[in-house]
Amino acid sequence: MSFGRYRSNRWIYRVVTGLAVAVFVLVVGLGWLVATNYKQFGNLVKVIALIKTQYLNPVGYDTMVEGAIRGLVQSLDDPYSAYLDPVTYKHLREQIKGTFGGLGILVGMKDEYLTVARTYRGTPAYREGIQPGDVIYKIDNREVRGIDLETAVQLMRGPVGTKVTLTLVRPNVPNPFEVELTREEITVPTVESRMLKNGIAYVGIVQFTEKTPEELEENISRLKQQGLRAVVLDLRSNPGGELMSAVKVAGRFVPAGPVVYIDYRGGRQEEYPARGNNLGLPLAVLINEHSASAAEIVAGAVKDTGSGILVGQKTFGKGVVQMVFDLDNGAGLKLTTARYLTPKKHDINKKGIEPDVVVSQPPGGQDVQLQKAVDVVSEKLGNKAA
């Protein structure tokens, strides 16, 4: 019995010794950081050694290291920073290149749950009857509560023709249910518009992509031919998107000057300005609790510059910037590296942007928020005429 314990202890000693050498290298490379946290690093070495030698089931070092990386990122308590495993990161790269298939769903986060904000006509999600308000509980049998939004979206995207199964929870339906969908090439315009009345145009932006500014210009040109006099800009349930797209869009509605500041660690700031080609028309901007990120950049610029009236409900409050870094073995790291500041340098992260006119939208029925926005710009047109 004692001999067996001796052999086991010798094995542990060898593992610990080997890992200690690796830690020594880290000490040399990281200097004071490791030296001042030697007890914690020692515990990490001991845990790895014990799992490797004592845990019931064999575990590879790769698995333990990947788990440690995930835990390290999760310890930041930042919902927007995430370790991207090789499959998820591959999907992200495919999205950037435009070679991905999708489902036709616009999603947002509500109380840590991935929630459908909209489905697009003619897409797999629309044909299968997925509805706004549905909660996506699982993606291919993986629970997604608390997952960051971009990672969840990547799990739903993939090569055209491949399948994905969503487990949905629907209000007033007693049990979760599954829907299997086949990914298709999704081409969805990000800007839609129509003339309402008296020269007041509705312009809705569902998300910000590289194509959005160009699409906006096409819509504005068409609306001008129809007698454009005022704009209701709808950013409700817009989850955000590409930074420069938001800056260019804001530039059509606010005067020359800063649209947003990017505030980095250490106090360094970058200013992204509007170029002074704004329409100069009466403007109301619709926002709600699902308006986030790039949508909040536009809303914040409009509010701080006094270029229009915000109507609806307080925005989501995502005022931080992420960068994606390549890791070995095809993995990636999405890390929060800066924060957005409005033109008046307000930090809106976890705070949101308050509307100038608060209007709650009841489920179903008339769009009372849109009606209020129309009333606001109608009043501006009347004052201008006077």
3-state secondary structure 129-170: CCCCCCEEEEECCEECCCCCHHHHHHHHCECCCCEEEEEEEC
Question: Number of structural domains, the chain?
Answer: 3
Q: What is the CATH number of the domain that holds 230?
A: 3.90.226.10
**Region 103-107: what's the mean pLDDT?**
88
Pairing of strands 269-274, 257-264: antiparallel
- Both 348 and 216 in a single domain? yes
Instruction: Decide which of 182, 214, 231 is a domain's last residue.
Output: 182
pLDDT at 5 over 90: no
In a domain, residue 128? The reply is yes
**Two structure tokens written together for 43:** 């515990």
Measured CA to CA, the distance from residue 155 to residue 102 in angstroms comes to 10
- Both 254 and 144 in a single domain? no
**Region 95-117: what's the mean pLDDT?**
78
- Both 219 and 331 in a single domain? yes
- Both 287 and 202 in a single domain? yes
Catalytic (active site) residue 378: no
Q: Which of 193, 237, 291, 293 is catalytic?
A: 293
Catalytic (active site) residue 318: yes
Q: Which of 304, 372, 378, 380 is catalytic?
A: 304
**Given pLDDT bands bounded at 50, 70 and 90, which one contains residue 288?**
very high
Q: Which residue has better confidence, 31 or 321?
A: 321
Q: What is the mean pLDDT of the chain?
A: 86
Instruction: Decide which of 162, 182, 202 is a domain's last residue.
Output: 182
Measured CA to CA, the distance from residue 38 to residue 36 in angstroms comes to 6
**Region 100-108: what's the mean pLDDT?**
84
For 56-109, the DSSP string reads SS---HHHHHHHHHHHHHHTT--TT-EEE-HHHHHHHHHHHHT--BB--EEEEE
In a domain, residue 361? The reply is yes
Residues in the chain: 386
Three-state DSSP at 344 gives coil
- Both 135 and 202 in a single domain? no
- Both 247 and 322 in a single domain? yes
Q: Which of 248, 318, 372, 380 is catalytic?
A: 318
- Both 33 and 145 in a single domain? no
Catalytic (active site) residue 140: no
In a domain, residue 80? The reply is no
204: containing domain: 191-385
Q: How many CA atoms within 13 Å lie on the side-chain side of 44? A: 19
Proportion of the chain above pLDDT 70, given as a percent: 87
**Given pLDDT bands bounded at 50, 70 and 90, which one contains residue 94?**
low
- Both 120 and 172 in a single domain? yes
Instruction: Decide which of 182, 215, 233 is a domain's last residue.
Output: 182
In a domain, residue 81? The reply is no
pLDDT at 22 over 90: no
